[in-house]
Structure 1
Amino acid sequence: MNISRRLNRLAELVTEGSRLADVGTDHGYVPLCLCREKKIPSAIAMDINEGPLKRAKSHIADAGLENYIETRLSDGLHELRGGEADTVLIAGMGGALMVRILTEGTRALMGVRELVLQPQSEIDEVRRWLCTHGWHIMKEDILLDEGKYYPMFKAVPGETEGYTEAEYRFGKLGLQESPEVLADFLEKRLEVNRQIEAGLPKNDDGRIAARRAEVAAEIGLLTEVLSCITS
């Protein structure tokens, strides 16, 4: 099965032999790929919308994998019972929504051995949630696929070391699998922020001053992380 580079990289983060729960499965491509290649014994493909779930069910039937992949209509982890999955994959949604799903799904996460996460935004908030709820990020990665950057990471139960603000925002560099891609992402983001800074009005309006301080702080963090990557 040909799947996108993003989905393929996420599939690679799933530990072989684990039972997978794919939250927001859409077309069900990741569990399909892993089960077809016999890398996992079973999967539960979950989605809040009936349309995508029906398409996933159709793809599963076409592949003859109905005995290995179950589909469930579910808002986040609500329909997953504790002990049913070893790996939970949540990808392709905003960080705020991901944090809500994880918070509301605490019981379903009992017994889960790893989380594979790919938030589209508010990535620092997802890292903060993990670090304060008994999850240790063990691997970071970032992928450039069709012009877009996709940060992703794997977390396992356990205590975590303290994080700096830069590490909450961009991850611990020692865990990063693709530092060159991360550097390229940060350089582009730094250039955007410098353009924003240069375009801000030169007045003392409180709102403008607050925005200028926010952009300056972002530039400082980006410069700090880039200097660590390139040193």
Structure 2
Amino acid sequence: MQISKRLEAVASFVEQGSVIADVGCDHGYIPIYLYQKGMIPKAIAMDVNKGPLERAEIHIREYGLGEYITTRLSDGVRALKPNEADAVVIAGMGGALMEKIIEEGEETLNSVSYLILQPQSELAHFRRFLHQKGYCIEQEKMVLEDGKYYPMMKVRKGRESYVREIDYRFGKGLLEEKNQVLYQFLLKEQKSLETVKARLESANTKTAKARQKEIEIDLNYAKEALKEYEV
């Protein structure tokens, strides 16, 4: 099976021989792809909505993998039992929803070895949340696909915290390795913020001035992160 660059990058975090639970599985592509690659012995595909789960079931049957990939209607990881999976994949959701799933499924998630997460928003808050919940961010990747930037990470239990705000905003691992996709994102972000700042400077309203201060903060962090690539 061929899958998108984003899903392929998410799947690349999975360790050989892991039993995975894919939360919000949509079409079931990740477990099918991983089984075909010989990476996993079995998987549980889960979704809160019947429609996506039915689509996943169709694809699983088409590839003759019903014996190895089971499906479950589940809000987050509620239908997953402790010690039933080695890893949990949660991809393509907003950061706030992902935090809710992790918070509500804490007891079950404590029994898995690692999580693979691809939050779509609120990344700085999400990374802080992971540290507060006792997770280490072990590895991060970022891909560009169809004009969109997708950060993703592999985390496991452990104590960790960052000193710098840019590490929470943009990913410490990505900055340390001078990730080129992040570099392109930062350049684009800097240009976009400078354009907005220039437009706000010409508007002499209280709201515009408040927004300008927010933009300046974001712009300064983007510039600080870009300096990491000069070293």
Aligned-residue offset at 1:67 = 1.4
Following the alignment from structure 1 to structure 2, what is the Cα–Cα distance between the partners of residues 85 and 222? 38
1:203-214 to structure 2, matched below 5 A, reads: 205-214=205-214
CA contact (8 A) 1:19 1:42 kept: yes
1:8 maps to 8
2:158 maps to 158
CA contact (8 A) 1:173 1:229 kept: no
CA contact (8 A) 1:141 1:177 kept: no
After superposition, the C-alpha distances for 1:61-114 in whole angstroms (9 at most, x for unaligned) are 111111111100111111111111111111111111111111111011021111
Following the alignment from structure 1 to structure 2, what is the Cα–Cα distance between the partners of residues 190 and 175? 16
Mark the runs of 5 or more structure 1 residues left unpaired by the alignment: none
The percentage of aligned residue pairs carrying the same residue is: 45
SS of the equivalent of 2:12 reads: helix
Aligned-residue offset at 1:217 = 0.3
SS of the equivalent of 1:13 reads: coil
2:99 maps to 99
CA contact (8 A) 1:18 1:87 kept: yes
Aligned-residue offset at 1:162 = 2.7
Output the amino acid matched with 2:179.
Answer: P
Number of equivalenced pairs = 231
Sort the Cα spacing of 1:172 and 1:16 in 2 relative to 1 into closer, same or farther, 3 A. Answer: same
Following the alignment from structure 1 to structure 2, what is the Cα–Cα distance between the partners of residues 227 and 86? 38
1:83 maps to 83
Aligned-residue offset at 1:176 = 5.8
1:55-70 to structure 2, matched below 5 A, reads: 55-70=55-70
CA contact (8 A) 1:17 1:39 kept: yes
CA contact (8 A) 1:89 1:115 kept: yes
TM-score (norm 1): 0.95
CA RMSD of aligned residues (A): 1.5
Sort the Cα spacing of 1:195 and 1:26 in 2 relative to 1 into closer, same or farther, 3 A. Answer: same
1:167 maps to 167
Output the amino acid matched with 1:229.
Answer: Y
After superposition, the C-alpha distances for 1:14-60 in whole angstroms (9 at most, x for unaligned) are 11111101010000000001112221111110011101100101111
1:198 maps to 198
CA contact (8 A) 2:200 2:209 kept: no
Aligned-residue offset at 1:201 = 4.5
CA contact (8 A) 1:47 1:72 kept: yes
1:73 maps to 73
1:226 maps to 226
SS of the equivalent of 1:209 reads: helix
Output the amino acid matched with 1:134.
Answer: G
Following the alignment from structure 1 to structure 2, what is the Cα–Cα distance between the partners of residues 185 and 94? 19
CA contact (8 A) 2:175 2:225 kept: no
SS of the equivalent of 1:116 reads: strand
2:20 aligned with 1:20, yes or no? yes
2:136 aligned with 1:136, yes or no? yes
2:46 aligned with 1:46, yes or no? yes
2:145 aligned with 1:145, yes or no? yes
Output the amino acid matched with 1:116.
Answer: I
Sort the Cα spacing of 1:176 and 1:39 in 2 relative to 1 into closer, same or farther, 3 A. Answer: farther
Output the amino acid matched with 2:75.
Answer: D
Aligned-residue offset at 1:7 = 0.7
Aligned-residue offset at 1:137 = 0.2
CA contact (8 A) 1:142 1:182 kept: yes
Mark the runs of 5 or more structure 2 residues left unpaired by the alignment: none
Output the amino acid matched with 2:160.
Answer: T
CA contact (8 A) 1:136 1:155 kept: yes
